[in-house]
A and B are shown apart, each in its own frame.
Chain A
Amino acid sequence: MSTESQTFTEKYDLLGCIQCGRCTGGCPVTVRADLNVRRFVYDAYHEEKLEELARLAEIWDCTACHTCAVRCPKGLKPLEVLLGLRTMIIESGKVEPTVRDALQSVLLEGNPWEKSRAARSDWMEGLDVKIAEPGVPVENLFFVCCTIAYDPRVQSVAKNIVGLLNKAGIDYAFLDESETCCGSEVFTLGEEGLFEMLVEDNTELLNEYTAKRIVCLSPHCFTTYKTRYPDLKAEVIHYTQLLEELLREGKLVWKGDLQKKIVFHDPCYLGKQGDVYDEPRALLKSIPGVNLVEFERRRERSLCCEGGGGKMWVESESKKERLAETRIKDAKALEADIVAVACPFCVLTLEDAMKGLGYEEEMRVAEIMELLGEFVEA
């Protein structure tokens, strides 16, 4: 977080850049858009050029996958230069209506999907869910995520984990409708002021619960809480980390088997940004019958699905093949039956691509929690 007095150059440490080109060399978006992040880092040094740079359409092509940050030998985050330019546009107010409505919805209703706050816990209906109470100690405090809470396609992630937690008998609790957007996409859309407000409000809310760990269902919330909320008292983990722990402790029991070839797609926010690679694989491998195969581009080199960086609300001008389509074609070449992911955005983008390519009959995109819900004894 910057102070107002910092210049753009200071804020993003532009003078630290040695123009080695590793950022652009790894950027997955360059195959379908005219985005050259290295050029932006170079040009942004000239403060008088900033307004002109901010008006370039390609600043909205970045998916905030963080490949450039992972590859930068100087430890810079080139993508954040683009986010800084987005901030200039956001603060002028003249943004795409879809972006405007998503951000306004976060402010008014605590989620970017223009859904009523009162409906946030509707997914819990009919389930035996333990609700957190301020001041009452809880080992694992769950943070659901706006997309999982409201989108019927991915609600099963939350529903299935409740059944599993009750079965495993561990100490857990969920927040009620007071749960508010973590701001992951608010940050990447460049709404710095709103993000600062969310950090302040969510830190206060989450610290009221005496939780040992905050378990996030979405990698976007996970990475955001882990890296951008300095004053959270609890440790932040992703649900695959908790389940892998339960697996090692023998608390997950499988029913039947799954004779399928599965390929795991590393979500950028879980892997590149959260450094969680092995746990989701361990969970998949443990399901009897599963043949886990790997993409050639995996782990730190995983291909982004283009769901992050606020891209759910910004359509690229490029008509070239979507990265999600490339990914599905790669899975097809591997003859995978299931593309397993651990992120709600990856489910939505990859499934769209799969349907668009007409592979619905022979392939399935599934969140790990969907599969576990089907095969874990609950």
Chain B
Amino acid sequence: MKMFVCIKYVPDTSEAEVKVNPDGVTVDSARFSFDINDADNYAVEESVLIKEAKEGDITVVSIGPKQSDVMIRMAMAKGCDQAVRIEDDRIATHDPLMVAKVLAGAIKGQEFDLVLTGCMASDDGHMSTGVALAEELGVSHASMVKKVELLDGKVRAHRELEGGLLEVVELELPAVLTIQTGINEPRYAPIRGIRLAQKKELKVVNLDELGVDPAVVGLDASKVVLEQLYIPEVESSAEFIEGEAEEKAEKLASILVKGGLV
């Protein structure tokens, strides 16, 4: 089973305050911590579980800065075999189609059975890179996958739909699966494993070395213009009613009456 797993290095915005830079289209990331995108972490684990069950070879593909090497080494410590990191400022990374074209450039021309991605990136939330990647590679895809069953020459994917429904689809291999969180329990990458993974190949390339025309994946090629990032204004707020039970009930009743709700 020859696999590729595409991962993204994203900021954790849950702890630090998000501030938009004066340019209006980027955020100040100085106080963020960065890590592998959550859903991609599950995709890595799923690829390793498949490798453990069926044998195989996994290549990590990522677009990102040098700092993301630690994330890639962690994936290799868990069982991925080699990696390609693409670093090039000319990529219009705000546009998932452009990102998909670059990722496809790293995969095309090589034999593969499965490409796994996370179903969504936690920073821009497009949910479309994996799907676009399937199109670029000319193979089928299944998105939001919660369970993977490998059959002879096919993969049966259990997809999560709205309202708790699951849809089961069978795809011919090769295929792209976008993995939903919760499909497995990602393992820990112990330091000794990360150190051993230093011996595995991590190729760092730019667009020219990848053989992707910068004009095809750059700002001019993108049909998406990032116009503005902003923090939504607070339009309503919650009020906490303090006091003893009786007092609270009285205040609540008064608010409801004043608001014309009773």
* Highest count of chain B CB atoms <10 Å: which of A93, A95, A99, A117: A93
Complex Cα gap A120–B195 (Å)? 27
Chain B CB within 8 A of A94 CB: yes
CB atoms of B193 and A191 under 8 A apart:
no
Residues from 114 to 148 in A contacting B, C-beta threshold 8 Å: 114-119
Segment at the A interface, from B81-89, B123-131, B163-171, B183-191 = B183-191
**Chain B: minimal CB distance from A99 (Å):** 7
Complex Cα gap A107–B74 (Å)? 11
Chain A CB within 8 A of B35 CB: yes
Chain A CB within 8 A of B33 CB: yes
**For residue A194, which residues in chain B have a CB less than 8 angstroms away from its CB?**
190-191
Chain B CB within 8 A of A91 CB: yes
- Residue in B15, B74, B192 whose CB lies within 8 Å of A91: B192
Nearest B-chain residue to A107, judged by Cβ: B191
Chain A CB within 8 A of B70 CB: yes
CB atoms of A97 and B195 under 8 A apart:
no
**For residue A15, which residues in chain B have a CB less than 8 angstroms away from its CB?**
none
Complex Cα gap A103–B35 (Å)? 13
**For residue B193, which residues in chain A have a CB less than 8 angstroms away from its CB?**
91, 93, 193
Chain B CB within 8 A of A36 CB: no
| Given A93-B188, A95-B188, A118-B30, A193-B70 contact (CB < 8 Å) | no
Chain B CB within 8 A of A210 CB: no
Chain B CB within 8 A of A242 CB: no
Chain A CB within 8 A of B12 CB: yes
**For residue A300, which residues in chain B have a CB less than 8 angstroms away from its CB?**
none
Complex Cα gap A308–B257 (Å)? 53
CB atoms of A191 and B185 under 8 A apart:
no
**For residue B190, which residues in chain A have a CB less than 8 angstroms away from its CB?**
90-91, 93, 191, 193-194
For A, the interface residue count at a CB cutoff of 8 angstroms equals 26
- Residue in A103, A107, A119, A193 whose CB lies within 8 Å of B31: A119
Complex Cα gap A139–B189 (Å)? 39
**For residue B186, which residues in chain A have a CB less than 8 angstroms away from its CB?**
97, 100
Number of A-B contacts (CB under 8 A): 68
Chain A CB within 8 A of B32 CB: yes
Complex Cα gap A103–B12 (Å)? 17
Question: A89-110 interface mask toward B, CB cutoff 8 Å, 1 = contact, 0 = none?
Answer: 0111111010110011001110
**For residue A92, which residues in chain B have a CB less than 8 angstroms away from its CB?**
187
**Chain B: minimal CB distance from A151 (Å):** 13
| Given A116-B31, A118-B16, A93-B187 contact (CB < 8 Å) | yes
Residues from 190 to 240 in B contacting A, C-beta threshold 8 Å: 190-195
Chain A CB within 8 A of B8 CB: no
Nearest A-chain residue to B191, judged by Cβ: A193
| Given A117-B33, A119-B16, A193-B192 contact (CB < 8 Å) | yes
**For residue A196, which residues in chain B have a CB less than 8 angstroms away from its CB?**
191
* Highest count of chain B CB atoms <10 Å: which of A100, A116, A119, A193: A116
Complex Cα gap A234–B193 (Å)? 32
CB atoms of A116 and B15 under 8 A apart:
yes
For B, the interface residue count at a CB cutoff of 8 angstroms equals 24
**For residue B78, which residues in chain A have a CB less than 8 angstroms away from its CB?**
93
Residues from 311 to 329 in A contacting B, C-beta threshold 8 Å: none
CB atoms of B33 and A104 under 8 A apart:
no
Chain B CB within 8 A of A197 CB: yes
Complex Cα gap A72–B190 (Å)? 32
CB atoms of B33 and A197 under 8 A apart:
no
Nearest B-chain residue to A97, judged by Cβ: B185
- Residue in B33, B35, B70, B189 whose CB lies within 8 Å of A93: B189
**Chain A: minimal CB distance from B13 (Å):** 10
Complex Cα gap A193–B191 (Å)? 5
Residues from 3 to 60 in B contacting A, C-beta threshold 8 Å: 12, 15-16, 30-35
Nearest B-chain residue to A111, judged by Cβ: B33
**Chain A: minimal CB distance from B235 (Å):** 29
Nearest B-chain residue to A106, judged by Cβ: B191
CB atoms of B188 and A103 under 8 A apart:
yes
Complex Cα gap A90–B188 (Å)? 7
**Chain B: minimal CB distance from A213 (Å):** 30
- Residue in A99, A100, A116 whose CB lies within 8 Å of B32: A116
Complex Cα gap A104–B194 (Å)? 12
**Chain A: minimal CB distance from B52 (Å):** 11
Complex Cα gap A107–B195 (Å)? 13
CB atoms of B188 and A119 under 8 A apart:
no
CB atoms of A109 and B189 under 8 A apart:
no
CB atoms of A193 and B188 under 8 A apart:
no
**Chain A: minimal CB distance from B31 (Å):** 4
Residues from 79 to 110 in B contacting A, C-beta threshold 8 Å: none
CB atoms of B31 and A118 under 8 A apart:
yes
* New A-B contacts (8) at CB < 8 Å, excluding given A104-B188, A193-B191, A196-B191: A93-B187, A93-B188, A100-B186, A104-B35, A114-B12, A116-B32, A118-B31, A119-B15
- Top 10 A-B pairs ranked by shortest CB distance? A193-B191, A93-B187, A193-B192, A100-B188, A118-B31, A116-B33, A194-B191, A93-B188, A91-B190, A109-B33
6 A-B pairs with CB atoms under 8 Å apart are A93-B77, A93-B187, A100-B187, A119-B16, A119-B31, A193-B190
